[in-house]
Amino acid sequence: MSRFRFDRRTFIAGLGIGGGVVPMLPSRSFGATPTSPRRLVVISVPNGYTADYLPEVVAGGWRARDTEFSPLKVIEPWKDRLTIMGGVNVQNGIDTARDVKKDPNASIGGHAILPFILTGAKGMAGPPIPDGWSLTASHPSIDQFVVQNVPEIKQRPFPSLVLRPVRMSAGGYGNNPLSYSGKTADGNSHNAPTIRDNPLTLFNDLFGGNLDTAALDKIRAQKKSILDFTSGQLKQLQARVGKDDRLRLQNHLDGVAQLEKQIAMVSNACRKPTQSASDIWTDQQTNPKMDLVMRTQIDMTVAAMACDHTRVASHLWVQSNNNTVVFPWLADKIPSLNETWTGGETAGSGNNLRNHHTIAHNEGQLKREKNLIDRFFLENFAYFIDRLSSTLDANGRPMIENTLLLYTNMQRSGGGHQTDNLQWFLAGNSNGYFKQGRYLPWLSGTANRTAPTNGLFTAIANAMGCPPADSFADPTYGGEATILRS
């Protein structure tokens, strides 16, 4: 990826001209008027959850369970903006074991699920890794699918931000990416967008130049003057051509009008975020300040979206087994999180602190720790929602109204590794496409019946303005999950 400098000249290109427009296709006009660009954030966390992660059904909705470090407590304030979806199956991953490995008894556990969690298609042979699960995606993940299929998203200076808060080494399924661009070309590597981790580099790429408000206003005025001139000429030509050609030119004129709106729309919230301290980053596989990296990556994602540098972001929190990730910043709540773990599995990662993987495997014994860690990740999800709710688009509405956030967990229980019947979250919205504020114990709409991810992804793709489709990736996994719709 080329570095994008925020100097004045490139700013002209980056201001949101290049197709930065809300599509107004009559066939998909589910919002009354165009409001702001539609955006998508996907998040994935590993290692499952305890029973305390499930909401308690109460009259009129749900509430978080009343336990110590109850994970859902932290997202409860955002109830109205999100939907809890239960009964989600990564069916394409489950079927990959059978169909690609040709082994009816094989199963892909939660640690090996990343090439399938967002792709909706059975996998294919991929980069060799030691444990034999050498598989990769055969279809773009939902975030990259949106990038590839919505021209105005693809044309952003950053078509997507693919982030991870810790530097990983290559190799092993623990290092599989979350986002994929499609099939692998050579079978020896994943076909995946570049992953950015170091927040200092990211800051320079996104906000390295100056953001001068007066200069921006002038640039906007100048663009408008050019577009006004073009409109005048289009009308002159329109007067001279035949009936059908007049309609062709009307499309062009409408496009110019949309562009003018778009220029006015680039959010006043486009402000350079505060640069994080330089000591929060380390190139190691474990980072005692990972929590701060996560925060700054969220801040930068929100700012980049406010400036319309990008409309799609993918956050992997963190690798799919997390046996190098420890949580010293939580030691003020549970001091043992700073201690060496002496019993049970040590997961062979080179560090023997209480890492996420080990705690997950011992979730019975270490339930408080597990809940606290899951709460930590959900706190960041809540922070994301909070930032998007308090940052306004140019139309004065909170950005969250046109930003969709999908929060996924890679497995069900920490020790069980199941990839069926998962509980995920969908927050925010996309021009009012989704009916939020609900607990849907079964995404399928039928009790005790699980649903493949494809219905959810079909809904997201359609909501984001991809060419309308009845299915995603593999039609045999069914159509859109209309239960999510407004």
Partner 1 sequence: MMGITTRSDRRWLVGVPLFFAVGCSGSIAGEGGSNVGGSGSVGGMNEKPGTGGTTALPAPVGARSFLALRPLTRVEYNNTVLDLLGDTAFAGDAFPSESAASTGFAQVQKVDEVNVGLYFDAAEAIASRSVTRLPSLFGCDPAGNAEMDCISRFVSSFGRRAYRRPITAEEIAEYLAFYKNELRGTLKLSAGDASKALVATFLQSPFFLYRWENAWNAEKDGSGVRLGAFHLASQLSYFIWASMPDEELMKAAENNELNHTTQIKTQVRRMLAHVKAERSVASFAEQWMGVSALSGALRSQAGWDPILARAMVVEIQRFVSDTLLVGDATLETLFSSRQSTVGGPLAALYGVGDKAAPSRSITLPDTERRGILTLAGVMAAHSDENESSPILRGKFIREHVMCDLIPPPPGDVPDLDPPRPGLSKKERFAMHRMGACSACHELMDPIGFGFEHYDNVGKFRVTDNNAPVDSTGSVSNLDGNDQTFASALELTGLLAKSPQVAECLMRQFFRFGLAKNEGDRDEDSLSEIFAGFRKGGFDIREMLVALLTSEIVTHRMPNAEEVLP
Binding site for partner 1 (CB under 8 A): 9, 12-13, 17-21, 23, 151-152, 155, 183, 185, 218, 221-223, 225-227, 229-230, 232-234, 237, 239-249, 251-252, 254-256, 258-259, 262
What does the buried/exposed string (b/e) look like for 403-427 if buried means 16 or more CB atoms within 10 Å of the residue's CB? bbbbbbbbbbbbeebbbbebbbbbb
Minimal distance, residue 22 CB to partner 1, in Å: 9
Minimal distance, residue 225 CB to partner 1, in Å: 7
Minimal distance, residue 257 CB to partner 1, in Å: 8
How far, in Å, CA of 341 to CA of 354, rounded? 5
Smaller CB separation from partner 1, 106 or 253: 253
- Residue owning tokens 């406010």: 306
Minimal distance, residue 251 CB to partner 1, in Å: 6
Residue 255 burial (C-beta neighbours within 10 Å; 0-12, 13-18, 19+):
middle
- Among 366, 383, 387, 365, which Cα is nearest to 317's? 383
Minimal distance, residue 227 CB to partner 1, in Å: 8
Query: Beta strand 161-163 with 312-316: parallel, antiparallel or unpaired?
Result: parallel
Smaller CB separation from partner 1, 187 or 350: 187
Minimal distance, residue 124 CB to partner 1, in Å: 11
Smaller CB separation from partner 1, 203 or 472: 472
- What is the C-alpha R_g of the chain? 23
Contact 481, 471 (CB under 8 A): no
Q: Which structure tokens are listed for 232?
A: 């005048």
What single-letter amino acid sits at 160?
S
CB atoms within 10 A of CB 279: 9
How far, in Å, CA of 109 to CA of 103, rounded? 14
Smaller CB separation from partner 1, 248 or 397: 248
Minimal distance, residue 154 CB to partner 1, in Å: 9
Smaller CB separation from partner 1, 51 or 237: 237
Smaller CB separation from partner 1, 64 or 265: 265
Smaller CB separation from partner 1, 364 or 468: 468
How far, in Å, CA of 277 to CA of 433, rounded? 39
